């Protein structure tokens, strides 16, 4: 017999070995010996009150063996001689489009501008230490896309739970910890992601797919409303019949190319702001109602904040407990920050994007001349501003949170995890008013919601500008572009995903559409 039950375990009880066995036997009024196994279905922490509780949902197996846990099985076909599908970009959307092609018996031919995960490390080192941005291989571009050297948080607001579980199980199949199947806030960690990405690459290659790194698509050759060839690295052409475009939100050259060729694209609303960085201990103390070090069984605490300021949303984005702020620019001459954390989330800082909604219809009148590229040009100017207000390298402009709100330059800054370094700058007077004023009110309001959050011990670091794509690429209900009928705009760059999991799910759907299996 199997019984699904909910258990509440206090922090003190969590230290007891076999606590789930003990509690399950008590709850079901049976002897412990009758329980042959317990499978955890869900685990979450409730820290709203000082008495912290671990909530478990478990299946208790009574006098019967615990079965195999997977709901999905992945069977890949030999596609060496199969019909090809060209996939541009090998981020989560491109990777899962390629895997799904192999499952469906089509040969994915992936074209990726950046380097493979191993070589990409050298490019990341160059950004952090030499302030040099390789414009094809960086924190956003290269094998695994923006998802590889990311935080690997796997939260999604997608309602298609079935598909979410499928992607989670596939990540586990490719080497991610099976803890992601049960945690309420699953997370892989930047140190573990490259291995998973490497394993996904290996599956694609083992079954006959192709992946070409250092191969940037630079033009589309179009005849009769179809792409007939892709130009690679500004030179040779590759004939094609179906193209999945999964180039991410930072591939500006692709947006410019589409616009130049009069292929419909649209300006999209998005959000921009800064990264706030606190000592992790401050966030732990607020969230866990404690002082000093947090309990060793508790993970680094996170937060999620949102506030309406003059009818505009200000909210936390991609919060990284125990993490690092990283330089996420894709070109020299711009500064962009983002965050990531290792699997153990054991760094001493907590960082989060704090961003302000930008409405493409209402807020960008000064940029109307750029048409569908107006939000992109606004974003670009913001990033150049960060570059010029730093040291004209990857040094990021920064201010103490309280100085930013009170409108004064910081004479000193707090320590930071941002490796290229930070420089005091008057961000309060530099930012466009719609962003600066909303952030100032937002930080004050966050301080009221989380006592201790609004503090001079926090830095704000500029700029957080790549939250989602500033452009969307239209597609029909069959997922192809309305004008170019063999082009499948896919993932975050086209406006159909926001994060690793939703991008992966969209990749699968585009592969199904391109192969006639939608």
The footprint of ligand FAD (CB under 6 A) covers 88-94, 111-114, 139-142, 145-147, 150-153, 216-217, 246-248, 250-251, 253-254, 318, 326, 328, 338, 340, 491-493, 497, 499-500, 503
Find where tokens 């199980």 sit.
169
Of 297, 271, 291, nearest to 352 (Cα)? 271
Q: Are 435 and 427 spatial neighbours (Cβ–Cβ below 8 Å)?
A: no
To ligand FAD, the closest distance from the beta carbon of 436 in angstroms equals 24
Question: DSSP letters along 221-285, please?
Answer: EEETTEEEEEEETTS-EEE-S-EEE---TT-HHHHHHHHHTT---EE--EEEEEEEEEEHHHHHH
CB of 212 to ligand FAD, least distance (A): 9
**Min CB(145)–ligand FAD separation in Å:** 2
HEC letters along 304-349: CCEEEECCEEEEEEEEECCCEEEECCCCCCCCCEEEECCCCCCCCE
Q: State in angstroms the smallest separation of the CB of 255 from ligand FAD.
A: 10
Question: Which residue, 127 or 458, has its beta carbon nearer to ligand FAD?
Answer: 127
Overall residue count recorded for the chain in this entry: 518
Q: Which is nearer to ligand FAD, 390 or 499 (CB)?
A: 499
Scan for tokens 């807020």, then name that residue.
363
Smallest gap from residue 497 Cβ to ligand FAD (A): 5
Minimum distance, C-beta of residue 155 to ligand FAD, in the bound complex (Å) = 7
Residues whose CB is less than 8 angstroms from the CB of residue 340 and which lie 6 or more positions away in sequence, other chains included: 149, 150, 151, 152, 190, 320, 323, 324, 326
HSE-CB of 280 using CA atoms within 13 angstroms: 21
Exposure letters 425-459 (e unless 16+ CB within 10 A, then b): bbbbebbbebbbbbbbbbbbbbbeeeeebbbeebb
C-beta of 7 vs 246, nearer to ligand FAD: 246
Tell the burial category of 86 from Cβ atoms under 10 Å away from its Cβ (0-12, 13-18, 19+). buried
Q: How far is the CB of 470 from ligand FAD (least distance, A)?
A: 13
With CA atoms as reference, report the closest residue to 288 among 55, 57, 45: 45
The least CB distance from residue 345 to ligand FAD, in Å, is 11
Residue closer to ligand FAD (CB basis): 142 or 390: 142
């Amino acid at each position: 017999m199997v019984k699904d039950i909910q258990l509440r375990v206090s922090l003190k009880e969590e230290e007891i070995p076999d606590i789930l066995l003990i509690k399950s036997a008590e709850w079901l009024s049976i002897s412990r010996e009758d329980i042959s196994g317990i499978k955890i279905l869900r685990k979450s922490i409730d820290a709203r009150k000082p008495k912290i509780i671990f909530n478990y949902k478990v299946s208790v197996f009574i006098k019967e063996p615990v079965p195999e846990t997977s709901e999905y099985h992945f069977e890949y076909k030999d596609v060496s001689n199969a019909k090809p599908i060209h996939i541009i970009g090998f981020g989560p959307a491109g990777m899962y489009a390629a895997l799904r092609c192999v499952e469906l018996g089509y040969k994915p031919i992936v074209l990726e501008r950046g380097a493979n995960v191993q070589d990409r490390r050298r490019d990341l080192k160059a950004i952090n230490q030499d302030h040099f941005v390789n414009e094809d291989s960086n924190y956003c571009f290269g094998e695994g896309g923006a998802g590889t050297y990311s935080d690997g948080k796997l939260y999604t607001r997608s309602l298609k739970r079935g598909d979410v579980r499928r992607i989670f199980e596939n990540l586990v199949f490719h080497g991610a910890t099976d803890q992601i199947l049960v945690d309420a806030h699953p997370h892989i960690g930047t140190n573990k992601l490259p291995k998973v990405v490497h394993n996904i690459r290996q599956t694609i290659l083992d079954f006959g797919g192709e992946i070409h790194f250092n191969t940037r698509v630079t033009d589309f050759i179009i005849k009769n409303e179809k792409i007939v060839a892709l130009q690679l690295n500004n030179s040779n052409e590759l004939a094609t019949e179906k193209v999945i475009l999964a180039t991410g939100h930072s591939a500006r050259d692709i947006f410019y190319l589409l616009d130049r060729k009069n292929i419909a694209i649209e300006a999209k609303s998005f959000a921009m702001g800064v990264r706030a960085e606190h000592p992790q201990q401050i966030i732990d103390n607020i969230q866990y109602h404690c002082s000093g070090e947090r309990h060793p069984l508790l993970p680094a605490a996170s937060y999620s904040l949102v506030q309406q300021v003059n009818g505009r949303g200000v909210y936390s984005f991609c919060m990284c407990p125990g993490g690092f702020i990283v330089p996420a620019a894709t070109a020299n001459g711009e500064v962009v920050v983002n965050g990531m954390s290792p699997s153990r989330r054991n760094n001493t800082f907590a960082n989060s994007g704090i961003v302000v909604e930008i409405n493409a219809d209402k807020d960008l009148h000064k940029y109307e001349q750029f048409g569908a590229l107006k939000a992109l040009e606004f974003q670009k100017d913001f990033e150049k501003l960060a570059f010029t207000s730093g040291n004209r390298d990857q040094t990021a402009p920064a201010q103490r949170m309280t100085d930013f709100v009170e409108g004064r330059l910081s004479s000193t800054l707090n320590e930071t995890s941002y490796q290229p370094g930070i420089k005091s700058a008057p961000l309060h007077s530099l930012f466009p008013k719609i962003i600066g004023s909303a952030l100032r009110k937002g930080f004050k309001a966050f301080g009221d919601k989380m006592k201790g959050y609004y503090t001079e011990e926090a830095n704000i670091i500029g700029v957080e500008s790549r939250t989602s794509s500033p452009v969307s690429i239209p597609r029909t209900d069959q997922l192809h572009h309305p004008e170019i009928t063999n082009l499948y705009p896919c993932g975050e760059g086209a406006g159909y995903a926001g994060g690793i999991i939703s991008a992966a799910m969209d990749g699968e759907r585009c592969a199904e559409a391109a192969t006639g299996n939608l």
